[in-house]
């Protein structure tokens, strides 16, 4: 009887310890997207025609994600999958090398480019004194989210531990840092914009007039508004928006989940 009691107490202790550890340790997103699935998302990222060949590795993505414990780790399993699908869809559009008749379809060519093609300017906001431009440096789009403008490079560098103003090139030279900038942008609220993360995990809290006046309904379309709404939202049947949606639908299908409503932002006012 004493042995049975001791065994029961010991078993109970280990059960409690396991529960505490499961709550303390966040799930790694590698449990949701392994390397094989990741490569099936990006069938042609390492094509010889892609300037980003061999840059956007699975290991770099996973390593970068460890800096953001809530990314892909918030809510139910389907919610976690939905957020990862949305994130990967958005960075796929930003870096796409696909075209309408591309092999395996246009939505199999994400993560092809690591730098903006033929940038129209050096993306220097000279009025921003907090993050002043460095002479001779250009802050055009780089990395998975195509990080742009001196104020984004400066802030991202400050929070992630690199010199974004003096060395913006690192975003297209270091794949872990590149992914970190993309996830940082995704996770960070930049008022009046909410974070893309909060939108996709159901924690978007609309501000005054967001819904009734500006029609900023929660869903994938709102993340497009956050990322590039000034150029793409409020426009019927915009091709860029449709491209983002195409990637999202494909990735959601690979995860075997529904996309949810409000995929576009054609009726939303930009932030």
Asked whether residue 91 is assigned to any structural domain, the reply reads yes
CATH number at residue 162: 3.30.20.10
- Give yes or no: 94 in active site: yes
Catalytic residue, chosen from 21, 63, 83, 94, is 94
Residue 15 lies in a domain: no
**pTM for this structure?**
0.90
pLDDT at position 27, please?
58
> DSSP states of the chain as a string?
-HHHHHHHHHHHHHHHHHHHHHHHSPPPGGGTS-HHHHHHHSTTTT-TT-TTTTTS-HHHHHHHHTT-TTTT-SSSHHHHHHHHHHHHHHHHHHT----TT-TT-GGG--S--SB-SS-SS----TT-SSSPPPTT-----BTTTTB-SHHHHHHHHHHHTS-TTT-GGGGGT-HHHHHHHHHHHHH--BTTBPPHHHHHTT-----TTTTTTT---SSHHHHHHHHHHHHHTTSTT-HHHHHHHHHHHHHHHHHT----S----TTSPP-
* pLDDT score, position 28: 83
Same-domain pairing of 68 and 197: yes
11 in any annotated domain: no
Do 193 and 271 belong together in one domain? Answer: yes
Domain final residue pick, 132, 150, 174: 174
Read off the CATH number of the domain in which 37 is found.
1.10.530.10
pLDDT tens, the chain, 271 aa long: 444 444 334 443 344 434 333 344 455 899 999 999 999 999 999 999 999 999 999 999 999 999 999 999 999 999 999 999 999 999 999 999 999 999 999 999 999 999 999 999 999 999 999 999 999 999 999 999 999 999 999 999 999 999 999 999 999 999 999 999 999 999 999 999 999 999 999 999 999 899 999 999 999 999 999 999 999 999 999 999 999 999 999 999 999 999 999 999 999 999 9
- What range defines the domain where residue 105 resides? 27-113+189-271
């Amino acid at each position: 009887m004493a042995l049975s009691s001791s065994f029961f107490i010991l078993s109970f202790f280990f059960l409690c310890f396991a529960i505490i550890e499961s709550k303390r340790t966040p799930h790694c997103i590698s449990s949701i997207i392994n390397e094989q699935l990741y490569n099936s998302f990006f069938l042609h990222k390492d094509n010889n025609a892609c300037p980003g060949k061999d840059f956007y590795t699975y290991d770099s993505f996973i390593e970068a994600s460890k800096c953001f414990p809530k990314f892909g780790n918030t809510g139910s399993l389907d919610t976690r999958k939905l957020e990862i699908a949305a994130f990967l869809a958005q960075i796929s559009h930003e870096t796409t090398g696909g075209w309408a008749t591309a092999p395996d379809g246009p939505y199999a060519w994400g993560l092809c480019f690591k730098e903006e093609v033929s940038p129209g300017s050096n993306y220097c906001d000279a009025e921003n004194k907090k993050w002043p431009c460095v002479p001779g440096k250009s802050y055009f789009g780089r990395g998975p989210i195509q990080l742009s403008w001196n104020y984004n490079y400066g802030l991202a560098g400050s929070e992630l531990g690199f010199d974004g103003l003096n060395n913006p090139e690192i975003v297209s030279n270091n794949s872990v840092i590149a992914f970190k900038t993309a996830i940082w942008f995704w996770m960070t609220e930049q008022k009046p914009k909410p974070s893309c993360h909060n939108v996709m995990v159901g924690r978007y809290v609309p501000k005054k007039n967001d819904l009734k006046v500006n029609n900023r309904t929660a869903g994938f379309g709102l993340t497009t508004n956050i990322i590039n709404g000034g150029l793409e939202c409020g426009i019927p049947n915009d091709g860029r928006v449709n491209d983002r949606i195409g990637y999202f639908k494909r990735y959601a299908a690979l995860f075997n989940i529904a996309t949810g409503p409000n995929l576009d932002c054609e009726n939303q006012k930009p932030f």
